[in-house]
Amino acid sequence: MNRPDSLPQTTHRLAARMAAIEPFHVVALVTRAKALEAQGRNIVNMVIGEPDFPTPEPIVRAAAHALQTGQVRYTPSLGTPALREALSAWYHTRYGVQVPAERIAVTTGSSGALLLTTGVLLSPGDQVLTADPSYPANRHFVRAMEGESVGIPVDASTDYQLTAELVERHWTPRTIAVMVASPANPTGTLLPFDELARIHAAVRRRRGVLIVDEIYHGLTYGGAVRSALELGDDIFVINSFSKYFCMTGWRVGWAVLPADYVGDVEKLAQNLYISNPELSMQAALAAFHPDTLAQCERNRAAYQAQRDFLLPELRRLGFEIPVTPQGAFYVYANCARLTGESYAFCLDLLERAGVAVAPGIDFGTHRAAEHVRFSYPKPIPVLAEGVRRIRDYLQQRGHS
């Protein structure tokens, strides 16, 4: 009889692509922050990119009603017709653009939209141009689809955004798409609309595809922004209820697709996950209720006040922030005067000062060790306590 220890060991088979897919480094920080909290430490958490406010009341009420009436079934893979229509109407009232509901795919957060978009576009070896720094999952979506993400180093001179000139310079025969976000994560900067138009024209000339992530739309602090959809119906526009509508955990977002991709996206969604959660889609219908929008606008004013408090404080502490972020709820700060290695700095700051911020390494490789990201949707007294702790920490380390 075989004794268990004489059985062959189980094989750990892992797809080659997994070697290039990195975890979010912030997760290690969040886990550690939670462990410290469990030990009784108070942590000022400026690490996770989500609103501090609850989901607006009309959305919660709509969800309760949906639950009570059993609206928890499979739905069409591209979303409930009612929500697709509501989104189409939203584009008309908010942006003055006509987007037929048939071109809108409701997805599981904008993450689902990015999954489907990269899934229908990429063949092995295809290159996608992105800014470095940018949202970390983008390069991993591309890699998961066997493509190659090409991070183009950007800095304050272009507000950390791609330009048409950069796109043209980095385009190769293998490039098939460009991904931009405005407002952007981690920098909170905007891509000026005329530059977006030039990027679109450059991509179109090369018969490529432009993907524009508008997830932080609604969260801008210097006036309304325009949707890339004004530029044409050949752009993939990604969006979500997560941020502006405070619905991160509901997992509902959408993509506006060029018409000739709708069938393929539907096919992929059907096979990958059948449908989005019906409960969340019924709830999201209440996102466009006037009371919800009034609440979201009050939240926006609060984020702006939080930004206006935090920015000068961070600059006084020695962080360099050459571009004032105009959107989202992040400050991307150069910490080179304070540390040579931002990841170690973040770990140490958490342990010694009880303040959690995200290291630059999560957002790319370009000067990542010199940067950290602050996520500021927190009450101002909490931000003030964070600033006080960082000041004490820096003073103890000899920075005055």
Nearer to ligand PLP, 261 or 329 (CB): 329
Among 66, 83, 142, 181, binds ligand PLP (CB under 6 A): 181
- Taking CB under 6 A as the rule, does residue 111 contact ligand PLP? yes
Q: How far is the CB of 373 from ligand PLP (least distance, A)?
A: 11
Which of 120, 121, 199, 215 is in the footprint of ligand PLP by CB under 6 A? 215
Q: Which stretch binds ligand PLP (CB under 6 A): 108-116, 271-279, 306-314, 359-367?
A: 108-116
Cα(233)–Cα(259) distance, integer angstroms: 8
What gap in Å lies between CA 187 and CA 328, rounded to an integer? Answer: 8
**254 vs 345, beta carbon nearer ligand PLP:** 254
Of 111 and 334, which has the nearer Cβ to ligand PLP? 111
Q: Which is nearer to ligand PLP, 109 or 386 (CB)?
A: 109
Shortest distance, position 239 Cβ to ligand PLP, whole Å: 8
- Nearer CB in complex with ligand PLP: 103/140: 140
Which residue's CB atom is positioned nearest to ligand PLP?
Answer: 109
* Residue 304 is a binding residue for ligand PLP (CB under 6 A): no
Of 123, 328, 119, residue with least CA distance to 221 = 328
Instruction: Please enumerate, as own/partner, the contacts of 219-225 that have beta carbons within 8 Å and a separation of 24 or more.
Output: 219/183, 219/243, 219/244, 219/300, 219/303, 219/327, 219/328, 219/329, 220/183, 220/190, 220/326, 220/327, 221/300, 221/303, 221/304, 221/307, 221/326, 221/327, 222/326, 225/182, 225/183, 225/190, 225/193, 225/327
CB of 138 to ligand PLP, least distance (A): 7
Nearer to ligand PLP, 126 or 213 (CB): 213
Q: What is the DSSP letter of 230?
A: G
In angstroms, give the least distance from the CB of 72 to ligand PLP: 21
Which amino acid appears at position 117 of this protein?
A: T
By CB under 6 A, the residues from 36 to 65 that bind ligand PLP are 49
Q: Which of 185, 220, 276, 306 binds ligand PLP (CB under 6 A)?
A: 185
278: left (phi over 0), alpha (psi -120 to 50) or beta: alpha
Per CB under 6 A, 377 contacts ligand PLP: no
Residue number, 90 or 313, with CB nearest to ligand PLP: 90
Q: Tokens 């996520």 — which residue? A: 375
Q: Which stretch binds ligand PLP (CB under 6 A): 54-62, 103-111, 142-150, 199-207?
A: 103-111
Give the binding range for ligand PLP (CB under 6 A) out of 37-45, 109-117, 161-169, 302-310.
Answer: 109-117
Q: What is the pattern of x (binds ligand PLP, CB under 6 A) and - over residues 125-154?
A: ----------x-------------------
- CA neighbours closer than 13 Å in the CB half-sphere of residue 260: 5
Our finding on whether 110 is near ligand PLP (CB under 6 A) is yes
Alpha helix segments (H runs only) across the chain: 25-38, 57-68, 81-90, 109-121, 136-144, 164-170, 193-205, 262-273, 278-284, 290-317, 342-353, 380-396
3-state secondary structure (DSSP) of residue 372 = strand
Percentages of the chain per state (helix, strand, coil), in multiples of 5 = 50, 15, 40
Token pair for residue 295?
């609440």
- Minimum gap (Å) between residue 143 Cβ and ligand PLP: 16
The contact pattern for ligand PLP, residues 225-254, with x = CB under 6 A and - = no contact, is ---------------x-x-----x----x-
213 forms part of the interface with ligand PLP (CB under 6 A): yes
Exposed / middle / buried, residue 289 (Cβ in 10 Å: 0-12, 13-18, 19+): middle
CB 225 within 8 A of CB 327: yes
What is the closest distance, in whole angstroms, from the C-beta atom of residue 361 to ligand PLP in the complex? Answer: 16
Instruction: Could you list the beta-strand ranges (E) of 120-159.
Output: 127-132, 148-153
Give the Cα separation of 235 and 204 in Å (integer): 10
Enumerate binding residues for ligand PLP (CB under 6 A).
49, 109-111, 135, 181, 185, 213, 215, 240, 242, 248, 253
